[in-house]
A and B are shown apart, each in its own frame.
Chain A
């Protein structure tokens, strides 16, 4: 594995870890439901980003398809979880009124 590939993997993987931390911080600190949801989605994006960085094999080598398949399922599960959480939030608001 050449230095160029390792550099790209570390750069993108490191930014993925930073995204996870940023999302975790926002999730812990901020109150409203919508902000917490955005924070969780950001954490998920960070995890996907790490997986994509692990699958990267250089600009002209075919990448590893296994983490890509995991991320593809993860994206769809994330959106369905978001929709469910928003429906819960709406129901809670209705019960408050």
Chain B
């Protein structure tokens, strides 16, 4: 029981950190936002594991859902402007 829980903890943490890493390193706005929503949902799952169901509900609804909707609208505008060639200041991406 305890060993199983330990494996589950490690798995959750690794997935969370990996998701965060691909979120901040993805260049395309829409992709980054969708990964951020997935990160928020996974975070809600982790908080449910840590016995914080109130926070899991709030994070899933507000942190992932509403921020995601707000940022998706902004990403749509950003990628719409990308078609004009004036906007190319974000090419330095390699860590």
- Chosen A-B contacts, 24 in total, with CB atoms closer than 8 Å, are A7-B6, A11-B9, A15-B16, A22-B21, A26-B25, A30-B90, A30-B93, A35-B32, A38-B23, A38-B32, A38-B33, A41-B67, A42-B20, A52-B47, A52-B50, A52-B55, A57-B51, A59-B5, A63-B52, A78-B67, A79-B70, A82-B71, A90-B74, A93-B81
Given A75-B58, A75-B62; A39-B70 close (CB under 8 Å)? no
Whether A86 sits at the interface, judged by CB under 8 Å, is: yes
**Interface size classification for chain B:** 35 or more
Whether A6 sits at the interface, judged by CB under 8 Å, is: no
Question: A89 contacts which of B17, B46, B59, B74 (Cβ < 8 Å)?
Answer: B74
Q: Which residues of A contact B29 (CB under 8 A)?
A: 32, 34-35
Q: Which residues of B contact A22 (CB under 8 A)?
A: 17, 20-21, 24
| A residues at B contact (CB < 8 Å) | 4, 7-8, 11-12, 15, 18-19, 22-23, 25-26, 29-32, 34-35, 37-39, 41-42, 45, 48-49, 52-53, 55-57, 59, 62-63, 68, 71-72, 75-76, 78-79, 82-83, 86, 89-90, 93
| B residues at A contact (CB < 8 Å) | 2, 5-6, 9-10, 13, 16-17, 20-21, 23-25, 29, 32-33, 36, 39-40, 43, 46-47, 50-52, 54-55, 58-59, 62-63, 66-67, 70-71, 73-75, 77-78, 81, 89-90, 92-93, 95
A72 touches B54 (CB 8 A): yes
Q: Which residues of A contact B24 (CB under 8 A)?
A: 22-23, 25-26, 30, 35, 38-39, 42
If over half of B's interface residues share one DSSP class (helix, strand or loop), that class is named, otherwise mixed; here it is helix
If over half of A's interface residues share one DSSP class (helix, strand or loop), that class is named, otherwise mixed; here it is helix
Q: Which residue of B lies closest to A18 (CB)?
A: B17
